[in-house]
Amino acid sequence: MGISHQAGSIVLRGKAWYGFYRKDVIDATTEDVRSVRVCVRLGLKSQMTKLKARDTLKAEIAKQTGQLADGRILKDGSVTFEWFVRNRYFPLRQGDWRPETAIEKTAQIEIDLIAKFGSRTIESIDKFELQTHVNHLARTYCQDRVKQARSYLKSIFDEAIEQEFLVKDPTRTLKIPKNLRPKDKQILTWEQLRAVLKAASKRDRILLMLDMTDALRPSELFAFRWKSFDDVNTLSITETIYRRKIRPFGKTPGSMTKVHLPDGLVAELRQWKLECPDPSPDAPMFPNADGGFLDPSNFRYRVLKLIREALELRKLNFQVLRRTIATRAQKLGSVKDVQSHLRHSRADTTANEYMQELPESVQQMVGTVYAMLTSTPTEQQRAGRFEPV
């Protein structure tokens, strides 16, 4: 098909010039080519003459004729945002998402984006609307959710351009708002951790001790069977659990490994095996009342919630426990050691998301720096802090 050379028409409405032109689009559902009439606001009469308005319209027609560089016709951008996401975006992305991840991501896109822009045509949504919506989310939700919403918007509109529904990307310069609400990265003290263990029943205390000692994810912790325990000093992570379904994979490839058990915990596990209702190899290590696998969500509500209330803790869940161990362990080993302990793929995840600042450690470091600056080399050597220049 040849390049369009239409001039369009202009009309004065109130104090502004408006232009009209036609463009061919491919119907998204039938794949048929059809012609649509487009209206565009050109500018105020006080700012441009009729001749300038015509020139502006010609430039807009050249930019928005709907023909790509190789002469192909753009698909119909008048489809709604909801239609595109459900019929063009989700089907592609869900192949890359695990089933449980797909449920969470789909739900967030439904709530944060489709609820706002669902009935709008994708070609009518501009940068201003997208940015103000992201700014609104920033006043309501934590920083992770806002960043995810922005990422989904950019991904959706990038896909719209890739599939030739749009020419211009309205999310190209979409910004993350400043002063985002920080994440709650609470950690507990050693005394609070010991109090949590003391408040739990025997089964729950061993389960929590295992979780704290090896910084396990709940999906790993609640999937252990007795065959996972070598009866010596290691546990093999070969399965995970999510919404009561056993899966043969973990969050990362490195998470499917063996974890070391201290001698004291080994002794407790052996004793628990003798008291456990079903110690057979395929039986859950920590069974529920029916002999099946415990559900992490139920455990949080029926066990951790009660302990939190009894100890008057602000927050108590597996994320808090895992973050606490990562933070408290930073004085016991290097970042690489803690990364290996938590089985993270990247060290920056360990350092930036899990390991929190310890005020007492900072105070001790400042004191050491002062001592190094004010003491003599002999005093430093005597204190074991001498570093030759």
Contact between 313 and 239 under an 8 Å Cβ cutoff? The reply is no
What pLDDT score does 69 carry? 45
Q: Is 13 helix (H, G, I), strand (E, B) or coil?
A: strand
Q: What's the pLDDT score for residue 365?
A: 53
Q: What is the largest CA-CA distance in the chain?
A: 93
37: β partners: 22
Q: How many CB atoms lie within 10 A of CB 327?
A: 19
The structure's pTM equals 0.57
CA distance 205 to 183: 28
Per DSSP, the three-state class of 123 is helix
pLDDT of residue 226: 94
CA distances from residue 215 to 98, 189, 219, 260 in whole angstroms, order as listed: 24, 15, 12, 11
Could you tell me the domains of the chain? 1-74 (no CATH), 81-183 (1.10.150.130), 190-353 (1.10.443.10)
| 162 Cβ contact list (under 8 Å, min separation 6) | none
Between CA 89 and CA 84 the distance in angstroms is: 6
Say what the pLDDT of residue 373 is: 53
What pLDDT, on a 0 to 100 scale, did the predictor assign at position 1? 38
Determine the pLDDT at residue 351. 45
List per-residue pLDDT tens for the chain, 389 residues long: 344 556 788 888 888 889 888 877 766 667 677 777 878 888 898 888 988 888 888 777 766 654 444 445 556 667 889 999 998 899 888 778 877 788 889 999 999 999 999 999 888 899 999 999 999 999 888 888 999 999 999 999 999 988 888 878 899 899 998 888 777 778 888 899 999 999 999 999 999 988 888 878 888 899 999 999 998 888 898 999 887 888 888 777 777 888 888 888 889 999 999 999 899 999 999 999 899 999 998 999 999 999 999 999 999 998 888 888 877 777 665 545 455 555 544 555 544 555 445 455 545 555 555 565 556 666 556 655 545 44
Is residue 255 within 8 Å of 247, Cβ to Cβ?
no
Supply the pLDDT for residue 359.
54
